[in-house]
Structure 1
Amino acid sequence: MRFLRFMITAVVLSSGCAPTSNQKTPAPRLVVFISIDQLRYDYLTKFSLHFGPDGFNYLLNRGANFAECHYGHATNETAVGHATMMSGTYPYRHGIIANDWYDRSLRRKVYGTEDTLAPILGAKEYGKTDGRSPRKFSGTNLADQLKLHTGGQAKVFGVSNKDRSAILMAGKMADGVYWMDEKFGRIVTSAYYMNDYPEWMKTYQASKPLDKWKGAKWDMLLSPDEYPKSEKKFEQYYDVKAGIGGAFPHIIGSENDKKDKNYYEALMRSPFSSEALLELMEELMIRENLGDDAVTDILCVSFSANDKIGHMFGPMSREVMDITVRTDRYLARLFKFLDKEVGLNNILFVLTSDHGVPPIPEIIASRQVEAYRLIPDTVRQIAETEMIKKFGRLAREQRYVEVIEEANLYFNDAALAEKKIDKNIAEQYISTFLKNNVKGIDRIYTSQQLSEGRIPNDAISQAVFKNYYSGRTGDLFLVLDPYCIWSWNGKGTDHGEPQSYDNHVPMILAGVHWIKPGTYYQRCSPVDIAPTLAAILKIEQPNATDGRVLNEIIR
């Protein structure tokens, strides 16, 4: 009996099981936070037969997979999602209400990470509005809290193809944030983060790492029989960009044999930009020694090609299937590299997305589902014409309605003052008029409603409320009917609505010492990630967190 007890004890100790409550759980040496832009949750199930064991399945089999993860804000766009996933709060607190919004004091559109005080380093070609920083983000995120907790010892870096993704994930105190400029083909950062590039980055930039795919062929990774059938009649609605072509094989940057003209833009709309991002991440990991000591570091990585491809071809296309399957292989490469450098058992992983996407309207409409495109300036002109009918022509100002930007309609305050029109009256009048006369608009909220919290308790109304930030949100907030999108050129698809196809995203947390694996079906949100990681890391949560600690998955 004594021998039997000894053998059972030996087996348990050598089995590689997670630590019990009597064992001290080590802190992660590295948190790797992965965002895959425009990755709908259903892609993980729809394309699962084509995934290998070491990419998505590595996390799904070893991590906590939340099957009902939904954003709770209304404007499901890149800047909003990335700001939310790392802060644990919504736009009504962090202030990033959209990718762009209208600045009333400047009387122009501004970009969510635009900063005229933080110019791009090392290039004179950029203008003042090309400067980038997280200054428009209000408060702190998880990375900032880790910096504060460790007295600055923790290293925090962010990398992405898009500036807004890297910037809003890595926070205000990051050691470095790098992104890819598709106009000049450079890997860049801004003066917000540093005065000059480190020597390793100067050497890396000099090697022109983004140039190697000129003329490269993007063909189907799998047999053509594995992909959905391509319907020629819908190809006219693909938003094909110059330098990439409209069908497989896509030759990158070689339209009209002018390989350089559109090459960098085409590169960012191909899977090869994900390969470029992996190479950058690997170089940074080695040069900055991430995960090399007992102080937890954070690496934020956001893959943007999936989004750009999704906008062009839509979620039902062969191209979207192909980039998703390729992303599985890219994750496998990433995990293999991280295992070699840090050891997978020393890493806490998070994988999620910033938003989903609806089908191209013409394609879903052919399946007997109502779907429309609304052109923002056309809707603005309809509102303008009605204001003129109601209140008369302006003498000094040019227009009553300045712009519709990302579901926000902004009145011209000077025009209203010229005609002595109470803004609340204008809001109510145009809100009712547009709702009754423009097909595709589901509901409209006035800024007075939102500022006073006078809204219904349904999910869409609450999502709009969580998107309201005084001074940035428009005078009217327009919500479209399901499967309707804002469209500028009548092609491709777009996202940004409080609908399931836009807000349902993957959320997987994995780490052998910290996370209980399994599939979880309770409703949750990416705002739950930051408080959960804060609990695991034993640090203070970001300020004003809306999410909860996912106690059910913590070992």
Structure 2
Amino acid sequence: MNKIIWITAALFINSIIVFGQENTSEKPKLVVGIVVDQMRFDQLYKYEDKFSEGGFKRILKEGFNYKNAHYNHIPTVTASGHASVYTGTTPSVHGIIGNSWFDRKLNREVSNVEDSTVVIVGSQQENTRGRSPKKLMTPTISDQLRMRTNFASKVISVSLKDRGAILPGGHTANGSYWHDFQSSPGYFVSSSYYMDHLPQWVSDFNRQKKQDEYLNTNWNTLYPLETYTESGEDDSTFERTLRGKEKPVFPYNFKEIRKEYRKLKVEYQLIWVSPYGNTLVTDFAMEAVKNEKMGDDKITDMLNISYSVPDVVGHTFGLESVELQDVYLRLDRDIEKLLSFLDEEVGKGEYTLFLTADHAAIPVASYLYKHKLPTGIARINNYKDSLEKYLNTKYGENPWIQHFDGEHLYLNRELISAGKLQMEDLQKEIAAFLTDQEGVNMVVTTSDLRSQEYRKGSKEMVQNGYHPKRSGDLILVFDPGFIQSSNPELKINEVKGTTHGSGYAYDTHVPLLWFGAGIPKGESVRKVSVTDISPSLAMLLNLQLPSGSNGTPLPEILR
């Protein structure tokens, strides 16, 4: 009897929060995946009063809002986040354990998308810094779509960052394009992994020199500065200052500022710290839809867009800055423009869209300190120096540590084996030593990660982010509010700009919105994971799940 009552109550609750458009059997002509780099869930509401009616608000009003969506692994960084969204699994399976990691065989750090067997295509100067998805160990939902349609579906990905374009596109994308400021005047480029040369429409887009047009603008606030009451003071000690400026304040005359960055040969990277970087990506995405004829027939295509500017602006100015607020207000208008374009080009109700983030972020540590909130600095070099001294004193002068950067500690396995030390015992001893250091919450050994199965808390998140062939021998978890720094002299009140990477809610809690064909209106506060996105798309499109997928389809949007 109680079971019947419970089921009836659950159905009643669902009938309240899910209403309107019903799911249809017709598959969408186009799936659009949007990842906003470093977007926190609360930013949907923090700036809501100043959003237009046709951007974020339209998605919220007409779509489905998961208000309690999180990452379920550590670390929370760009590459890992994008990979998890599109594979439906965690770094323990897809292998992207960070933006970079230490390679024991090469004895150096490697990037998540570096590939020496390919070259950049479309750069003005020769660029042999090859990029590809080869380090991604599982297929993505975009790969499943391509295979299901015998590769008739088109998959295009675009971002300012290479990883923001490459990882969502998976292994079989028709094209992944990103912004090249190192060997081009801000061109969108690709890789010989995908193609021998750029499509004509991409070359034509680059020749328009929109990046120059945007970098010759004067960035001022969209609304009068005094109305930005949701943010802190414009002139703030929590913010970094761009070269060519005396203070981090509006306006930003990019035409003058770029002269300073030209001397460093990185002037086109300035678009990454400008709201017009998002506009440039939106322009390119719309050109891709038109020229690749995406959504033109009944074979579903997929467009992946990653907006990188919020992340760069967050790192530069912080979460309370007027600069970041203005970036979101202008991104809102870019999304409004994109939705209107898709309504016209593909057809209203003919495309399905999801929007999420690759991670969130912590408020600036100096801001937390000023307001007497828990914070601190995890001083990695101090940990390393102290540990080396301890090991040398006890076991003799030797390079016991092969690599120690951030949360991963790689031990010298050959030396330990030659010294006939027991790896498991040594790991436990080091874990106990490091746990006593200021700012270290816990240290998890790989011996425990391999022999235990954790089902809750930080250890479960560490295990989800651990890959035996790529991770360190010990993984550190820092105290809440603590940020990493290799600078032993940095004072907490001198920290500028935000960061991310932890398993705490300020880094894991992200937006998850669904909109368009087959998506009902509503919202849910049920805790869900970003790894649920790909399996939900698989069910929506009647696809086989990506091979590594361990997320759960979201029933609220599949009614």
Q: Structure 1-normalised TM-score?
A: 0.90
Q: Is the 8 A contact 1:142 1:530 kept in 2?
A: yes
Q: 1:252 aligns with which of 251, 254, 265?
A: 254
Q: Which residue of 2 aligns with 1:353?
A: 357
Query: What one-letter code is carried by the residue in structure 2 that aligns with 1:447?
Result: T
In 2, the alpha carbon distance for the partners of 1:19 and 1:454 equals 40
Q: CA deviation at 1:379?
A: 2.5
Aligned with 2:31: secondary structure? strand
The alignment's C-alpha RMSD in Å is 2.1
- 2:142 and 2:170 in contact (8 A); partners too: yes
In the TM superposition, what is the alpha-carbon distance from 1:462 to its structure 2 partner? 0.8
Equivalent in the alignment of 2:196: 195
Cα pair 1:252 1:267 within 8 Å, conserved:
no
Q: Which moved more, 1:329-338 or 1:202-211?
A: 202-211
Q: Show structure 2 runs of 5+ residues with no match.
A: 1-19, 491-495
1:549 corresponds to: 553
Tell me if structure 1 keeps the 8 A contact 2:70–2:508: yes
Whether 1:505 and 2:506 are equivalent positions in the alignment is no
| Whole-angstrom distance in 1 between the partners of 2:280 and 2:319 | 23
For residues 234 and 392 of structure 1, the distance between their equivalents in structure 2, rounded to whole angstroms, comes to: 49
Instruction: List per-residue Cα deviations over 1:218-261 (Å, max 9, x = no partner).
Output: 221122222246458952x4234436762211222634954633
Please report how far the alpha carbon of residue 312 of structure 1 lies from its aligned counterpart in structure 2 after TM superposition.
1.1
Map 1:142-181 → 2, pairs under 5 A = 142-181=141-180
| Cα pair distance change 1:381/1:53, threshold 3 Å | same
Which residue, out of 350, 371, 374, partners 1:370? 374
Candidates 458, 461, 464, aligned match of 2:459? 461
Specify the code of the residue in structure 1 equivalent to 2:78: T
Please report how far the alpha carbon of residue 18 of structure 1 lies from its aligned counterpart in structure 2 after TM superposition. 4.3
User: Which residue in 2 is equivalent to 1:472?
Assistant: 470
Indicate conservation of the 8 Å contact 1:253/1:264, yes or no: no
Structure 2 contact 401–410 (Cα < 8 Å) conserved: yes
Is the 1:234–1:363 contact (alpha carbons within 8 Å) kept by the matching residues of 2?
A: no
Q: Distance in 2 between the 1:63 and 1:102 partners?
A: 42
> Which range moves more in the overlay, 261-270 or 135-144?
261-270
Do 1:72 and 1:503's aligned partners in 2 also have CA atoms closer than 8 Å?
yes
Shift of 1:515: 1.2
Query: 2:101 matched to which residue of 1?
Result: 101
1:243, 1:252 within 8 Å by CA — same for their partners in 2?
Answer: no
CA offsets 1:427-452 (integer angstroms, 9 cap, x no match): 2222111111x211111101111122
1:160 CA drift (Å)? 0.4
Which stretch shows the higher mean deviation, 247-256 or 56-65? 247-256
CA drift of 1:344 comes to 2.4
Between the aligned partners of 2:531 and 2:31, the Cα distance in structure 1 is 17
Counterpart in 1 of 2:483? 485
**Would you say 1:137 and 2:136 are equivalent positions?**
yes
- Kindly state the Cα deviation for residue 197 of structure 1 after the two structures are TM-superposed: 1.2
Q: Partners in 1 of 2:546 and 2:406 — Cα distance?
A: 27
Q: Which amino acid letter does the alignment assign opposite residue 204 of structure 2?
A: T
CA displacement at 1:25 relative to structure 2: 2.9
Give the conservation status (yes or no) of the 8 Å contact 1:161–1:304: yes
Distance (Å, rounded) in 2 between the aligned partners of 1:337 and 1:545:
32
1:87-126 pair list within 5 angstroms: 87-123=87-123
Q: Which amino acid aligns with 2:198?
A: Y
Distance 1:215 1:385 in 2: 53
Equivalent in the alignment of 2:8: none
Q: Aligned residue for 2:9?
A: none
Partners of 2:81 and 2:22 lie apart in 1 by 34
Task: Check conservation: 1:253, 1:267, Cα contact below 8 A.
Answer: no
State the AA in 2 paired with 1:260. R
- The answer for the alignment partner of 2:11 in structure 1 is none
Instruction: Give the Cα–Cα distance (whole angstroms) in 2 for the partners of residues 176 and 478 of structure 1.
Output: 37
Give the drift of 1:365. 1.3
2:499 counterpart residue number: 494
Q: Secondary structure at the match of 1:72?
A: coil
Range moving further from structure 2, 215-224 or 416-425: 416-425
Tell me by how many angstroms 1:214 deviates: 3.1
Counterpart-to-counterpart distance in 1, 2:415 and 2:311: 38
Instruction: Read off the aligned partner of 2:200 and give its amino acid letter.
Output: E
CA contact (8 A) 2:234 2:321 kept: no
Counterpart-to-counterpart distance in 2, 1:314 and 1:231 = 12
**Identity rate, percent:** 33
Provide Cα deviations, 1:15-36, integer angstroms capped at 9, x if missing partner. Answer: xx7468xxx6321000011111
Q: What secondary structure does 1:65 align onto?
A: strand
Further displaced range: 350-359 or 263-272: 263-272
* 1:332 aligned counterpart, secondary structure: helix
3-state SS of paired residue (2:73): coil
Pair 1:391 & 2:395 matched? yes
What is the alpha-carbon distance in structure 2 between the residues aligned to residue 102 and residue 307 of structure 1?
24
Do 1:391 and 1:419's aligned partners in 2 also have CA atoms closer than 8 Å?
A: no
- Measured after TM superposition, the shift of residue 108 of structure 1 is 0.2
The amino acid of 2:378's aligned partner reads L
Say if 2:536 and 2:553, in contact at 8 Å, map to a contact too: yes
1:320 maps to 2:353: no
Question: Which letter does structure 2 place at the counterpart of 1:172?
Answer: H
Of 330, 333, 340 in structure 2, the residue corresponding to residue 329 of structure 1 is 333
Q: In structure 2, what is the equivalent of residue 307 of structure 1? A: 311
SS at match of 1:309: helix
Q: Rate the CA distance shift 1:256–1:309 in 2: closer, same or farther, 3 A.
A: closer
Question: Cα–Cα, structure 1 residues 472 and 19, in superposed 2: closer, same or farther, change >3 Å?
Answer: closer
Q: CA separation in 2, counterparts of 1:106 and 1:58?
A: 49
CA contact (8 A) 1:370 1:483 kept: yes
Runs (5+) with no aligned partner, structure 1 = 1-16
Letter in structure 2 aligned against 1:367: H
- TM (normalized to structure 2)? 0.90
Which one of the candidate residues 513, 517, 525 is aligned to 1:521? 525
Structure 1 residues 435 and 232: CA distance shift in structure 2, 3 A: farther
* Cα distance, 1:521 vs structure 2: 1.0
After the TM superposition, which residues 149-298 of structure 1 pair with which residues of structure 2 at under 5 Å, given as runs?
A: 149-183=148-182, 184=184, 185-228=186-229, 230-231=232-233, 234-235=236-237, 237-242=238-243, 246-252=248-254, 254-255=256-257, 257-258=259-260, 260-261=262-263, 262-298=266-302
Distance 1:492 1:281, change over 3 A: same
- 2:64 maps to 64
Deviations 1:179-236 (CA, angstroms, capped at 9, x unpaired): 002324221111111111112222222333322233422221122222246458952x
* C-alpha spacing 1:526/1:257, structure 2 compared with 1 (3 Å): closer
1:428/1:45 Cα in 2 relative to 1: closer, same or farther (>3 Å)? same
CA–CA distance in structure 2, aligned partners of residues 34 and 195 of structure 1: 27
Residue 4 (structure 1) aligns with:
none
Contact 2:235/2:248 (<8 A) preserved: no
Aligned partners of 2:259 and 2:267 also within 8 Å: no
Report the CA distance between 1:127 and its aligned residue.
5.9
Q: CA offsets, 1:58-84, max 9 Å, x none? A: 111111100000111110000011001
SS where residue 260 of structure 1 aligns? Answer: helix
| Structure-2 residue corresponding to 1:448 | 447
